[in-house]
Amino acid sequence: MELVLGIIAVILLILIFSNVRIVPQATQYVIENLGKYHATWDAGFHVKIPIIQKISKRITLKEQVLDSAPQPVITKDNVTMQIDTVVYFRIFDARLYTYGVVNPINALENLTATTLRNIVGELELDGTLTSRDTINTKMTAILDDATDQWGMKVTRVELKNIIPPAEIQNAMEKQMKAERDRRETLLQAEGHKAAAITRAEGDKRAMILAAEGERDARIARAEGEAKAIYLSKKAEADGLTALKEAGVDAAVLELKKYEALVQLANGTAAKLIIPTDAVNAVTNNTIFSETTGLGDVTKAAKKPTPPPKKDECCDKSDDR
């Protein structure tokens, strides 16, 4: 009897330990009782009733990535291109995810493809290539709203690659090359324009500086000449003042005039015509001066005194 009880106890322990379940973190187990949903186990220690309960699905709550294969998409201007997408999602309700749709990942992939075709079909080729952010935002909103009933939350959608046809790629490359050539031509033209403007401004500045320099030089020369004339006239005035203070007569003044005339001739073949009245005046002044002695500056030298005469008589007596 004890042996039977021991065997029963061992069997019970085996059954208990075989039905013990430890749910990891960020994971949920969906439990069914006889094929009907019973509960959702969160992370922790749980014991399953043998035969009656079973684990229907093990679900991770971590964010997952769905990398779809390239899909052929036709744009509004009838250009067929290959586009592949990357969808980031996570499961927020294990029950809805388990019983909401058959094969939820496949359903999400197909929904992504159809949504992408609808959005790109409303855009032209250039708009598709330049509107990645717009397409991503629209797809995220549409997929998130559609997958709520499946217990899924779409957090982000990204267009991975956009591959247009080969002829379109060649045309785009030619267009880009032409655009680059145009920009290069514009940049060169702008550079030549800027250089020409700079040179013109430099020439203008140089001419202004040259004109200012010439003006300053003329002013300096004029000031120098004016100062020279002023000093010359001042010297003449000082000379005349000195002559006046010395009390010179008319004859000296006439001689000064003749000296000035000689200086005017300056050794060149010039003829000087002297009025007769002036010559006569100078001659009369000279004769008058010599006769009267007026105007003589140097006094006449004294006549030497003759030696006294010897007396012959007296001299003879003395000799004796």
Return the pLDDT at 310. Answer: 53
pLDDT tens, per residue, the chain with 320 residues: 777 777 777 777 777 777 888 889 989 999 999 889 999 989 888 888 888 888 888 999 999 999 988 889 988 888 888 999 999 999 999 999 999 888 999 999 999 999 999 999 898 888 888 888 999 999 999 999 999 999 999 999 999 888 888 888 788 788 888 988 888 899 999 999 999 999 999 999 999 999 998 899 989 989 888 888 888 888 878 877 776 777 655 666 666 666 666 666 665 555 555 555 555 555 555 554 455 444 444 444 444 555 555 555 444 444 44
Q: Which CATH class is domain 64-164?
A: alpha beta
**Cβ atoms within 10 Å of 61's Cβ, excluding its own:** 15
Rounded alpha-carbon distances, angstroms, from residue 153 to 81, 131, 159 = 28, 24, 18
Backbone angles phi, psi at 42, to 5 degrees: -90, -175
In angstroms, the CA 147 to CA 92 distance is 11
Q: Residue 104: name the closest of 69, 78, 137, 143 by CA.
A: 143
In angstroms, the CA 154 to CA 142 distance is 9
Q: At 238, which amino acid appears?
A: D
Beta carbons of 116 and 84 less than 8 angstroms apart: no
For the chain, how far is it from start to end, CA to CA, in angstroms?
222
Return the pLDDT at 320. Answer: 40
Beta carbons of 105 and 129 less than 8 angstroms apart: no
Return the pLDDT at 144. Answer: 92
User: What is the DSSP code string of the chain?
Assistant: -HHHHHHHHHHHHHHHHHTEEEEPTTEEEEEEETTEEEEEE-SEEEEPPTTTEEEEEEEE-S-EEEEPPPEEEE-TTS-EEEEEEEEEEEES-HHHHHHSSSSHHHHHHHHHHHHHHHHHTTS-HHHHHH-HHHHHHHHHHHHHHHTGGGTEEEEEEEEEEEE--HHHHHHHHHHHHHHHHHHHHHHHHHHHHHHHHHHHHHHHHHHHHHHHHHHHHHHHHHHHHHHHHHHHHHHHHHHHHHHHHHT--HHHHHHHHHHHHHHHHTTSS------HHHHHHHHHHHHHHHHH-TT--SPPPPPPPPPPPPPHHHHHHHH-
Domain ranges of the chain: 2-59, 64-164
**Cβ atoms within 10 Å of 116's Cβ, excluding its own:** 23
